[in-house]
Structure 1
Amino acid sequence: MTLYAQGVLTPNEWLDLGGLSSLSAEEYFGASLWQLYKSIDSPYKAVLKTLLLEAYSWEYPNPRLLAKDIKQRLHDGEIVSFGLDPYCMMLERVTEYLTAIEDPTRLDLVRRCFYLKVCEKLSRERACVGWRREVLSQLVNEWGMGRRSSDNARQPGELEDRSGTRSA
């Protein structure tokens, strides 16, 4: 039974762009150069996307594209407020990759970049609590960052290196 027939999706709310193919080696190179250029204006986003490209290249020639994951989750009925958020999915995939290659330093960097990209300052009280804020709060607790680390991440461009000194 199709997602339209099940009432999960309505035709006027969804655009099917057809099948999804894999990426060629040339596309990885071009996308990496583009992220290098984009990092000038959006460094946190560029770090996330560059590491996603690295994760894809690790699975080459058959990467699990996020677009295919979204499609699969829709067909499996996994529709939750943040489960289909592209940044949450990107973080999930990059986390899987960095955990698999045992790279906790870059995993910490990715988490901080995600925190800064989302722009939800958890240290500030809000009258309205949206799903992004709830998800980010849950993630920060899971990461063990707590208040101290989230306070450190409040200053864009400043992260603590392993020696404990602040770097810009």
Structure 2
Amino acid sequence: MNERVVESEVEPRTLLVDHLREGLGLTGAKVGCDTGQCGSCTVLMNGRAIKSCALLAVQADGAEVTTIEGANPATGLTDLQQAMWDEHGVQCGFCTPGMVLSLQQLLDDEKVLTEEKVRCGLAGNLCRCTGYQSVVRAVLSVAGQDGAPAHE
């Protein structure tokens, strides 16, 4: 979990999001819809964005799980997080942790990004505040696409 080994005993029916929040105090993953539709609970498991409200904690046994708390380098923000700040891609912040982790996977997977690819990558993350345009602009700036400078 976030680059360290965590051993926990959990009830077999405990959802991963509940264990993260209540058992481990990692509150970045939010409980939004409880149905896996909104993406607020998104974490990375073995480098893949997953909805932690749709996975039992025991299913993560032996997996590398990264929450938003573990996504930040010691120096501060990632390039993506800084671009989200710079481009005003964050408003209320409820969906932001899940969105950032989904977008990080997209940036890791795709060599060339377009607005369409970014919007498809965001399909599993609902936001009621941003309208997504500033988020798309932030991701494209990190990727150095559409004439935007790439972040170092």
Q: TM-score range by the shorter chain?
A: 0.3 to 0.5
More strand by share: 2
Q: RCO higher in 1 or 2 (8 Å CA, sep ≥ 6)? A: 2
